[in-house]
Structure 1
């Protein structure tokens, strides 16, 4: 395997999510490189739908190339994926196919009515990532761990949905289920006007509670992973859950700003988790 190909995947992950990059940087090789490849492909899939003008492929081209992976060329992701599947033969291709199907749904299904519909979508675009990572982060195929990985992915996607309400609205999408809005007395008209009021805050708080429920399920058996993998999972979950606090600190105004976790807050989470796992108190970030 050309090391430069794996480095390009690493660079894409480092550029796309410094939080995830830091969270998984403690993994030993080749687990670490495998996470870089999975992240890079998922990033390219996501960009093919959300940023089509700057994406190297359309989502349909990605599907076709992935289906004929052994012959695919023209981009570093294809040899990287071939390395991934040869290095981790227990890794199945089905979650990757489902991930792409979930992104294709974004092209036509843009209004969610129920939490059940939203959960199905969250599984396709994020729960599948948990399934992809499972054979990379641990050596056994544990069904409880698989379910937990899916749960964590669903929780993370719910955080994305909370944070990106305004951004998604500008793209013509409403992931916030209508049944939640109606339950809290918040209308579609208020949503389109970007009104942050008590009913809207109640909507986001309900979604926040749902996300935290999935996080709790997702971390139930983290202790059964190799310690480096368990620490990486906890770090990723902590970084993501902290976005919810950032949204609250911003007054739930997800229409006009994108909430971020400060570097200082990330550093505290990072050190706290690393110390608990390793006992090392002087951590270089």
Structure 2
């Protein structure tokens, strides 16, 4: 590249694509099947969300987390005023906003969800867990709607939010041990743990009892209800997007089955959907 030559949008989207390929093979596998313009838009949105997530996860103290998140919030404010920094993420997102009927509020909602993580306390109830999930993950569903449901009069907002909540609950159920050991966080609702007779002490020891399995399954069943709602409303999505969105939901739902296959070990095993399983699950999305 010549010194004075500006980077192309192809390079900017390539930067975003590299991020989703690195951090989420399941999302990349599903959404890479979209038409290129839409796939690029998803990559840019994911790159923003990953930067928001990393603002919290890659900083060790709440003070440094707040500094990083405040910085990203300032950059988003500049973007909202069309004064964004000349960086790959923001150039790509500007192109997304130029091409699709995007709204800025879900991006701010995402940052609010990240702030809830900085000032973290375990949710007391399932409702509180889902409220948190609405901000940190339901917001992503709202971001994607103008891209995957651009040609419908049907209001799919709640279905998109439900998919985000389902995916966040899935993340929580997959990462129980990691969240506790590495972040000192317990996302399982306090009242739910008490109702199923499973204690914080047992969780700290990684004990997989019948009570733990019952607690885990109660939340997994809720996630599966939300996945089913989303897939049941898939007729409202664009024809060129249906396969990708249904595949993403089914592949992510498959993480729950991987935990079950590993006898509910969320403490010592890495639970994921293999590439071969992704292919099998995604194939069902085309039926």
1:66 aligns with 2:73: no
Q: Which residue of 2 aligns with 1:123?
A: 134
1:8 aligns with 2:20: no
Distance 1:198 1:95 in 2: 39
1:161–1:126 Cα change, 3 Å = same
Cα deviation, residue 179, structure 1: 1.1
Q: Which residue of 2 aligns with 1:281?
A: none
In the TM superposition, what are the counterparts of 1:86-97 in structure 2 within 5 Å? 86-88=98-100, 90-97=101-108
Cα deviations across residues 3-23 of structure 1 (Å, max 9, x unaligned)? 100111111111211211121
1:273 aligns with 2:273: no
Q: Which residue of 1 aligns with 2:262?
A: 250
Cα deviation, residue 230, structure 1: 1.1
Given that 1:135 and 1:141 are in contact with CA atoms closer than 8 Å, whether structure 2 keeps it comes out as no
Cα deviation, residue 131, structure 1: 0.4
1:111 aligns with 2:118: no
Q: Which residue of 2 aligns with 1:229?
A: 241
Q: Which residue of 1 aligns with 2:179?
A: 168
Cα deviation, residue 143, structure 1: 5.4
1:47 aligns with 2:57: no
In structure 1, runs of 5+ residues without a counterpart are 277-285
Count of residues in Structure 1 that have an aligned counterpart in Structure 2:
273
Given that 2:151 and 2:237 are in contact with CA atoms closer than 8 Å, whether structure 1 keeps it comes out as no
Distance 2:34 2:274 in 1: 24
Given that 1:201 and 1:252 are in contact with CA atoms closer than 8 Å, whether structure 2 keeps it comes out as yes
Cα deviation, residue 217, structure 1: 1.4
Cα deviation, residue 221, structure 1: 1.4
1:37 aligns with one of 31, 39, 44: 44
Given that 2:152 and 2:236 are in contact with CA atoms closer than 8 Å, whether structure 1 keeps it comes out as no
User: 3-state DSSP class of the match of 1:112?
Assistant: coil
Q: Which residue of 1 aligns with 2:25?
A: 18
1:263–1:140 Cα change, 3 Å = closer
2:211 aligns with one of 199, 208, 211: 199
Cα deviations across residues 100-147 of structure 1 (Å, max 9, x unaligned)? 110111011231111111010010011111100000112246453111
Runs of 4+ in 1 over 2 A off after TM superposition: 70-75, 140-144, 270-274
Cα deviation, residue 74, structure 1: 5.8
Given that 1:155 and 1:212 are in contact with CA atoms closer than 8 Å, whether structure 2 keeps it comes out as yes
Distance 2:256 2:92 in 1: 34
User: 3-state DSSP class of the match of 2:83?
Assistant: coil
Q: Which residue of 2 aligns with 1:187?
A: 199
Distance 2:275 2:251 in 1: 10
Cα deviation, residue 95, structure 1: 0.3
Q: Which residue of 1 aligns with 2:271?
A: 259
Distance 2:219 2:150 in 1: 34
Given that 2:35 and 2:240 are in contact with CA atoms closer than 8 Å, whether structure 1 keeps it comes out as yes
Cα deviations across residues 158-195 of structure 1 (Å, max 9, x unaligned)? 00000010111120111100111111111111112221
Given that 2:106 and 2:139 are in contact with CA atoms closer than 8 Å, whether structure 1 keeps it comes out as yes
User: 3-state DSSP class of the match of 1:253?
Assistant: coil
Distance 1:229 1:77 in 2: 23
1:66–1:141 Cα change, 3 Å = farther
